């Protein structure tokens, strides 16, 4: 089936900028997201200087930024080249916001999901191509608003990506921009998730039953339901916070607030905890939005590079559905320290323990897939394999946080930062890198360099552990999060050596990305050309040309078998693609 559009010759704008083709939109999402990831990483590299060498002027940037942004900005935010506490807090809040909402989710859902999913189900495009384009541009606008907020009077939002009230309600203008940006980003997500669900249900090729779908598609399917149902309460909360800030309402403001000796003029009667409940109701499913597509990506790569079927495919599908459902029931484990009684904390601790089970099942199935396989160690596989122990560390360190009694010592310390970064950074972001190395040939028709790729992996793997492992030690020692200067406390001062270690690890990690950036851009023009199926893979995207044309497939594919038929006995090749009818 070819799209009737192919008869027309669109100009540059319609083909590359305002395209409704899911592949163009997928690349737009991925490239925009990678740029935001890089920006968010740069914010953190500057923060790590202040953490390692508090009160010392930042080299180069300490002079350059005031020159770029003006004397006033320099005096307020970087007097003498030293980052101010306000700037530090706004970098912290924006680092989290940008990485999660402008970086990781748009990359793994908007980028990989949009590009790969329709190909894997044998569809010519998404169900609603124009809606798809709209969701990208709403995301882009949200990103612009977020970046612009750095130039609002008082700087960008600085109340953490969690924006707890009343701090966020009394904060400077940047917080309002943050709220507007979030409304745009949430809208983009909602439009996208509707598209994904309808496409997966309605546009599967003939023979592609739900249990013949690649696991990647199942992961995107569950993720879309999480986005669809969990985001709206945060949108509601965002509207309420905007009302508190702009219209003087008291949704989150209790009576009798006294700020800097001045009694605040709010009617009162509101509840700061209401914000936390509404926020975490989204934000907990959000972390599963961050991990599920990553599981999807590495599952494809592991199955392909072990040359055998996935172990426990159905178990993995049921686990991921159960995980999605349970993720709505654990949110208040972020709120154990808010004065919770025994019964409520027991409820949320129980659901939190329960949700660890499907995660372990997913890891176990992937691990057993390796058993009796024939494992190839290309760059994509190196990143996918290292995801497993890194996610394991992240998941295991969730246990002391999920039990209320141990959480007393660890809540709001660096232990939490170590925990979630292990899951997202050497977890999801490594999965995203794996996906780039794996699908780059499909998107561009050329391979990336394996040599540069392996160097990228090796240095990133070492550096990322140097950054985050010490954070568990710091958390156990009692070092709190979000501290501009940790050394004012005895425990912070005692652990300052580890802080310096983490910072050098972060800068080394930044340097290691040069291998990737060089590889990515040079391979677009200079990479070795490939045909449709360089990895000898079985799923449908590998039967389309590299890159696929508008409409994806020359003729509508028909699916004849399960997605991971590798090393089938009696065949001359060790892979049996889904769309090939006879051996």
Partner 1 sequence: MRILRGCAPAIVAFAMVWVAGAAPVLGQAAAPDVSDVHIDGQYGTFPTFMPTDVSKNGHDVDLLLSILHVFMIVLFVGWGIFFVWCLFKFRARSGHTADYKLVKAKAPKYLEVAVALFEAFLLIGMSMPVWARVKNKLPTEADNPVHIRVVAEQFAWNFHYPGKDGVFGKVAPEFVDPVSNPMGIDPSDPKGKDDFVSGELHVPVDRPVITSITSKDVIHSFSIPVMRVKQDAIPGMRIKIWFQPVQTGTYEVACAQLCGNNHYSMRALMKIESQSDYEAWVEEMAKGPAEFDEDDL
Partner 2 sequence: MSAGVLPYTVETHPVTGVYSGKLGTWLFLASEVMLFGGLFSAYVLLRVGAPEGTWPTREEAELSWKIGGFNTLTLIISSVTMVMAWASLKMHNFAKARIYLIITVLLALLFITLKLSLEYYPHWHEGLKPSTSVFFACYYTMTGLHALHILGGVVVMLYFIGPGASLWKTDPEHYTNRIECTGLYWHFVDLVWIFLFPVLYLMN
Near partner 1 in 466-495, by CB under 8 A: 466, 473-474, 476-478, 480-491, 493-495
Could you say whether residue 230 binds partner 2 (CB under 8 A)?
yes
Q: How far is the CB of 460 from partner 2 (least distance, A)?
A: 37
When CB distances are held under 5 to 8 angstroms depending on the partner's kind, the choice from partner 1, partner 2, none that residue 337 binds is: partner 1
Report 57-96 residues binding partner 1 (CB under 8 A).
Answer: 84-86, 89
Beta carbon nearer to partner 2, 173 or 264:
264
Could you say whether residue 263 binds partner 2 (CB under 8 A)?
no
Q: How far is the CB of 261 from partner 1 (least distance, A)?
A: 4
DSSP 390-433: HHHHHHHTHHHHHSHHHHHHHTTBHHHHHHHHHHIIIIIIHHHH
When CB distances are held under 5 to 8 angstroms depending on the partner's kind, the choice from partner 1, partner 2, none that residue 38 binds is: none
Q: How far apart are CA 524 and CA 517, in angstroms?
A: 11
Beta carbon nearer to partner 2, 240 or 410:
240
Question: Which of 61, 152, 203, 392 contacts partner 2 by CB under 8 A?
Answer: 203
Please, are residues 579 and 559 in contact by the beta-carbon 8 Å criterion?
yes
Q: How far apart are CA 133 and CA 10, in angstroms?
A: 16
Could you say whether residue 169 binds partner 2 (CB under 8 A)?
no
When CB distances are held under 5 to 8 angstroms depending on the partner's kind, the choice from partner 2, partner 1, none that residue 127 binds is: partner 2
Q: Say if residue 490 is exposed, middle or buried (CB neighbours under 10 Å; 0-12, 13-18, 19+).
A: exposed
Residue whose pair of structure tokens reads 């890089």 in the numeric block: 38
Question: Which of 45, 228, 367, 508 contacts partner 2 by CB under 8 A?
Answer: 228
CA 446 vs CA 260, 304, 547: distances in Å? 61, 19, 9
What six digits make up the tokens of 73? 């900005």
79 Cβ contact partners less than 8 Å away, ≥ 6 residues apart: none
When CB distances are held under 5 to 8 angstroms depending on the partner's kind, the choice from partner 1, partner 2, none that residue 374 binds is: partner 1
Report 514-573 residues binding partner 1 (CB under 8 A).
Answer: 566-569
Q: How far apart are CA 461 and CA 433, in angstroms?
A: 12
Cis peptide before 166 (omega within 30 of 0): yes
- What's the alpha-carbon Rg for the chain, to the nearest Å? 24
| Phi, psi at 264, each rounded to 5° | -80, 145
Beta carbon nearer to partner 1, 128 or 458:
458
Q: How far apart are CA 247 and CA 169, in angstroms?
A: 11
Question: Which of 101, 215, 221, 251 contacts partner 2 by CB under 8 A?
Answer: 251
When CB distances are held under 5 to 8 angstroms depending on the partner's kind, the choice from partner 2, partner 1, none that residue 249 binds is: partner 2
Report 406-435 residues binding partner 1 (CB under 8 A).
Answer: 406, 408-413
Report 317-346 residues binding partner 1 (CB under 8 A).
Answer: 337-339, 341-342, 345-346
Please, are residues 156 and 94 in contact by the beta-carbon 8 Å criterion?
yes
Chain residues that interact with partner 2, rule: CB under 8 A = 1-5, 124-125, 127-129, 190, 193-195, 197-198, 201-203, 228-237, 239-240, 243, 247-251, 266-271, 274, 277-278, 281
């Amino acid at each position: 089936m070819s799209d009737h559009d192919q008869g027309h010759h669109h100009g540059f704008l319609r083909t590359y900028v305002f395209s409704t083709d899911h592949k163009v939109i997928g690349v737009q999402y991925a490239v925009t997201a990678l740029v935001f990831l890089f920006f968010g990483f740069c914010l953190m590299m500057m923060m790590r200087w202040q953490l390692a060498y508090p009160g010392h002027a930042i080299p180069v940037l300490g002079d350059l930024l005031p020159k770029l942004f003006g004397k006033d900005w320099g005096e307020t935010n970087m007097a003498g080249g030293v980052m101010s506490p306000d700037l530090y807090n706004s970098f912290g809040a924006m680092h989290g916001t940008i990485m999660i909402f402008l970086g990781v989710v748009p990359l793994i859902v908007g980028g990989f999901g949009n590009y790969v999913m329709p190909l894997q189900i044998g569809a010519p495009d998404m169900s609603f191509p124009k809606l798809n384009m709209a969701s990208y541009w709403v995301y882009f606008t949200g990103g612009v608003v977020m970046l612009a907020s750095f130039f609002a009077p008082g700087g960008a939002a600085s109340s953490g990506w969690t924006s707890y009230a009343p701090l966020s309600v009394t904060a400077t203008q940047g917080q309002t921009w943050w709220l507007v940006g979030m409304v745009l980003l949430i809208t983009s997500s909602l439009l996208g998730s509707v598209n994904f669900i309808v496409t997966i249900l309605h546009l599967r090729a003939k023979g592609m039953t739900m249990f013949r779908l690649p696991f990647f598609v199942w992961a995107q399917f569950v993720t879309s339901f999480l986005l669809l149902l969990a985001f709206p309460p945060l949108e509601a909360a965002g509207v309420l916070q905007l009302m508190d800030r702009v219209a003087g309402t008291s949704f989150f403001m209790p009576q009798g607030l006294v700020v800097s000796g001045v009694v605040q003029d709010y009617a009162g009667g509101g509840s700061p905890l209401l914000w936390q409940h509404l926020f975490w109701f989204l934000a907990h499913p959000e972390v599963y939005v961050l991990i599920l597509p990553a599981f999807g990506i590495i599952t494809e790569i592991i199955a392909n590079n072990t040359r055998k079927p996935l172990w426990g495919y159905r178990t993995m599908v049921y686990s991921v559905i159960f995980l999605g459902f349970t993720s709505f029931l654990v949110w208040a484990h972020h709120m154990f320290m808010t004065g919770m009684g025994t019964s409520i904390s027991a409820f949320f601790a129980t659901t939190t323990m329960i949700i660890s089970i499907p995660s372990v099942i997913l890891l176990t199935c992937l691990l057993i897939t390796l058993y009796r396989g024939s494992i190839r160690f290309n760059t994509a596989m190196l990143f996918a394999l290292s995801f497993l122990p890194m996610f394991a560390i992240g998941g295991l360190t969730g246990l002391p946080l999920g039990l209320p009694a141990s959480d007393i010592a660890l809540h709001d310390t660096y232990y939490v930062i170590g925990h979630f970064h292990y899951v997202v950074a050497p977890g999801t972001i490594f999965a995203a890198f794996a996906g780039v190395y794996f699908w780059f040939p499909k998107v561009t028709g050329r391979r990336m360099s394996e040599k540069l790729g392996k160097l990228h992996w090796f240095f990133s793997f070492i550096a990322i552990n140097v950054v985050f492992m010490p954070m568990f030690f710091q958390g156990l020692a009692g070092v709190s999060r979000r501290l501009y200067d940790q050394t004012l406390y005895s425990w912070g001062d005692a652990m300052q050596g580890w802080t310096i270690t983490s910072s050098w690890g972060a800068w080394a990690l930044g340097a290691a990305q040069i291998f990737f950036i060089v590889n990515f851009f040079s391979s677009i023009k200079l990479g070795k050309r490939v045909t449709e199926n360089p990895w000898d893979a079985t799923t449908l995207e590998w039967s389309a040309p590299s890159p696929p044309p508008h409409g994806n497939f020359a003729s509508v594919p028909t699916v004849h078998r399960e997605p991971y038929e590798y090393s089938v006995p009696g065949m001359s090749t060790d892979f049996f693609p889904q769309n090939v009818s006879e051996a």
